[in-house]
Amino acid sequence: MSRFGTPVPYTATAVRPAYDALPVAGRERIAKELGAEPTAVELAGGGFSGGFAAKVRSASGAELFIKAAGPHLPYVLGAYRKEAQINPALPEGIPAPRLHFAHEVDEWVVLGFEAVDGRGVDLPLRPADLDLMLRAWAAAAEHLVPAPQSLLDAGVERRPIDDMLRKFTGVAAGREEPFEVPPPLEGRIDELAALDAGIDEAVSADAAMHFDLRPDNMIVGADRAWICDWNWMGIHAPWFDTVCFLVTAHGDGHDAEALFRGHPTAAGVSDEQLDTALAAITGYYLAQARLDLVEGVSPYIRRHQRWSGLAAADWLARRRGW
């Protein structure tokens, strides 16, 4: 139990279909890529989306990590299609499992990635794992500034930040229903709105960002880490991802402030920019946490959002002296 409630078991959040639920033609393609029918299917325990995700292995030892989604999960289907566009365009040197094939059949998307030798992470975060993940992100960010042409050609866009990261502005303007905030933030909607209203300017940069960087979107091996799920990329400052990642670290009791300021992506980031990011993240998570569960999505999603929102709010409140 942390200050923000019981942490989500990040390696056991997923609700996924069985391998037999994939269309026959999709399974035939997987067998072709492996060189034989899979003899072992290890479903990924982590994740919130509800899509199929598993490491598959043939008798010869050949392995792939397979992701698949059909028309019953249009949100996941779109995300996997986007990932099939972006992953091959990631510059060399970015630590990410690489796409081996993408196959569309019977309104399904089936993706095959290299199967890296690693594991997901749970809370509490081990300091050694935290260090490997931050190093992996630093290595990735080096290749994202300036925004690589390969990613621009793959459809990664410079687009305005949408109102999902301006929830306090929406509440202050009467466009958004108020949502519960922890005591240090009560009565401060105007201050919080003044912060998250500036998110576009705060993260403006000629750089590419992951836009969904969290410990549960990483795989940790013996001496390195890999970053997964590159489907939400945009042209904004990578340091915002560092803040998103470190919200979990802060909630877990690590010194997120020191880790942020010691990370290469934080160079030149002002205190006001950091507070703007934390306000935007806080509002997003706490507003989402009040919503009903969606069929096919992990039942842990709202608990994850509530916990993360409280962690971000606490980091912000400490910085502002609230």
What pLDDT score was predicted for residue 278? 98
Q: Are 240 and 209 in contact (CB under 8 A)?
A: yes
Q: Looking at the predicted structure, is the pLDDT value of residue 79 above 70? A: yes
Measured distance CA(294)–CA(69) in Å, rounded: 16
Question: Residue 45: is it exposed, middle or buried by C-beta count within 10 angstroms (0-12/13-18/19+)?
Answer: middle
Spell out the long-range contacts of 199-203 with Cβ–Cβ below 8 A and sequence spacing 24 or more: 199/161, 199/165, 199/166, 199/276, 199/277, 199/280, 200/160, 200/161, 202/237, 202/240, 202/272, 202/273, 202/276, 202/277, 203/161, 203/236, 203/237, 203/239, 203/240, 203/273, 203/277
The pLDDT of 170-190, averaged and rounded, is: 97
What pLDDT score was predicted for residue 26? 96
The reported pTM is 0.96
The pLDDT of 3-14, averaged and rounded, is: 92
Q: SS3 for the chain, per residue?
A: CECCECCCCHHHCCCCCCHHHCCHHHHHHHHHHHCCCEEEEEECCCCCCCCEEEEEEECCCCEEEEEEECCCCHHHHHHHHHHHHHHHHCCCCCCCCCEEEEEEECCEEEEEECCCCCECCCCCCCHHHHHHHHHHHHHHHHCCCCCCHHHHHCCCCCCCCCHHHCHHHHHHCCCCCCCCCCHHHCCCHHHHHHHHCCHHHHCCCCCCECCCCCHHHEEECCCCEEECCCCCCECCCCHHHHHHHHHHHHHCCCCHHHHHHCCHHHCCCCHHHHHHHHHHHHHHHHHHHCCCCCCCCCCCHHHHHHHHHHHHHHHHHHHHCC
The pLDDT of 163-182, averaged and rounded, is: 97
pLDDT grade for 159, boundaries at 50, 70 and 90 = confident
CATH number of 10-113: 3.30.200.20
- Domain limits, the chain: 10-113, 127-320
The pLDDT of 282-308, averaged and rounded, is: 94
What pLDDT score was predicted for residue 305? 97
What pLDDT score was predicted for residue 265? 98
Considering the chain, what is the average pLDDT of its residues? 96
Q: What is the pLDDT of residues 251-262, one digit of tens each?
A: 999 999 999 999
CATH number of 127-320: 3.90.1200.10
